[in-house]
Amino acid sequence: MLMRTDPFRELDRLTAQMFGTTTGTWSHPTAMAMDAYRAGDEFVACFDLPGVDPEAIELDVERNVLTIKAERRPVATDEQVEMQVAERPLGVFSRQLFLGDTLDTEHINAGYDAGVLTLRIPIAEKAKPRKIAITNTDHGRREINA
């Protein structure tokens, strides 16, 4: 269903941790942690996006590549506020999923609740198991005993 093709994703995560990267463009799983599973006739992917306004989330599908892009903006404060600690990453977060041909990318359903983006992608009809009827092509022939 879901194909992973980025062997350097873990290296990116470790590099970001080591250098303390907290702003800018994010494209590794710690910025957008994901759970993915199959539930009946659909594939479900959940992404953690706490503090992201739903209006700041973009979803695109092109040639079975699903791109999720979200932006976490700084909290608006007045001029008299002096930030003491700023550990939550800000900026643009992005992640791509390579979807298999067995998924129906025309009917993706997206919902956002409590900081979690949930995508439900139906399994394509052509990928579902089906029964094949067997016809008797031998009728009209007679058995000859010799």
Domain ranges in the chain are 42-74+92-126
Which tokens is 140 given?
């009209």
Tell me how far apart the 2 most distant CA atoms of the chain are, in Å: 107
Task: Name the fold adopted by 42-74+92-126.
Answer: Immunoglobulin-like (2.60.40)
pTM: 0.67
Q: What angle do CA 128, 130, 134 make, to 5 degrees?
A: 160
Report percent pLDDT > 70 for the chain: 72
Alpha-carbon separation of residue 102 from 43, 47, 96, 99 (angstroms): 10, 21, 17, 8
Give the model confidence (pLDDT) of 83-130 as tens digits: 788 788 888 989 999 998 889 999 999 999 999 999 999 988 776 677
By CB neighbour count within 10 A (0-12 exposed, 13-18 middle, 19+ buried), where does 130 fall?
exposed
Q: Picking from 8-12, 21-25, 98-102, 120-124, which range would have the lowest pLDDT averaged per residue?
A: 21-25
Q: What is the distance between the alpha carbons of residues 10 and 30, in angstroms, rounded to a whole number? A: 9
